Amino acid sequence: MPRQTAQPTAETLNEQGPAPRYLQLKQFICRQIDTGAWPPHHRVPSENELVEQSGVSRMTVNRALRELTAEGRLVRMQGVGTFVAEPKSHSPLLAVNNIADEISEHGHRHRAEVKLLREELAGPERALAMGLQEREKLFHSVIVHYQDNIPVQIEDRFVNPALAPNYLEQDFTKLTPNAYLQRTSPLTSGEHVVEAVTATPDEAHMLQIQRTEPCLLIRRRTWSGKRVVSVARLLHPGSRHRLEGRFGDAE
């Protein structure tokens, strides 16, 4: 059981040294996290509670919580509260991996919510990206992936029906699109384009983040042989994800 911790009173904040008050509050919260007093998923006192306990202004409290969220130490979920974050999930930059495997390999539970799964007609931009004719049929899925109970990715994917004809019949709460496509049309090559973006209002709602939180967007296109299998837009909250890559010979 984590030990009980003192409230962030004026006295405990002053113990952090002669720093600005917002920084003192950040240091106090980080100390609770680092010592295990506030473990991952621990609910952090609300802004009102921190104002009352510490005697600092709401603006000071808001700045401290906002910066700790941006640094990945806290997760703020709209309408729910602020919680201590798990260490960031991570993905290799140069590989096309199954997000369910990545999450389970780090000791966490993966689950998925299917927001959309349907047939559509390719517009000009989508047809060009996928090597199809305009108004050819394609499959479209939107899935939110969770690490434990925290959303970590929106997967917005378009699939070539010729290479995955039974895509719409799959239960993507039990099998990820990545795993299914590897079975039906093994991937031979791919490309990644990485951008820093902000989420749309709908995306922020699905990820349970503030609209102002920076996000990491990976645009992924994959081939089986010479044919494009899928084009995916993978959106991650910046506070909950990082990319890793390694280049060249380490010896």
Residue 7 in this model has a pLDDT that exceeds 90: no
Most confident of 28-32, 172-176, 241-245: 172-176
Q: Cα torsion at 226, 192, 219, 242 (round to 10°)?
A: 150
Residue 115 in this model has a pLDDT that exceeds 90: yes
Higher pLDDT, 236 or 72: 236
**Does the global pTM surpass 0.85?**
no
Where residue 242 falls among pLDDT bands split at 50, 70, 90?
low
- Each residue of 156-185: pLDDT tens digit? 999 999 999 999 999 999 999 999 998 999
Residue 141 in this model has a pLDDT that exceeds 90: yes
Residue 90 in this model has a pLDDT that exceeds 60: no
- As a whole-number percent, the residues of the chain with pLDDT over 70 amount to 84
- What is the DSSP secondary-structure string of 137-150? EEEEEEEEEEETTE
DSSP-based three-state secondary structure for 206: helix
Residue 113 in this model has a pLDDT that exceeds 60: yes
Give the whole-angstrom CA distance, residue 91 versus residue 98. 10
Lowest mean pLDDT among 25-39, 91-105, 137-151: 91-105
Give the whole-angstrom CA distance, residue 140 versus residue 229. 12
Q: Cα torsion at 28, 49, 46, 70 (round to 10°)?
A: -30
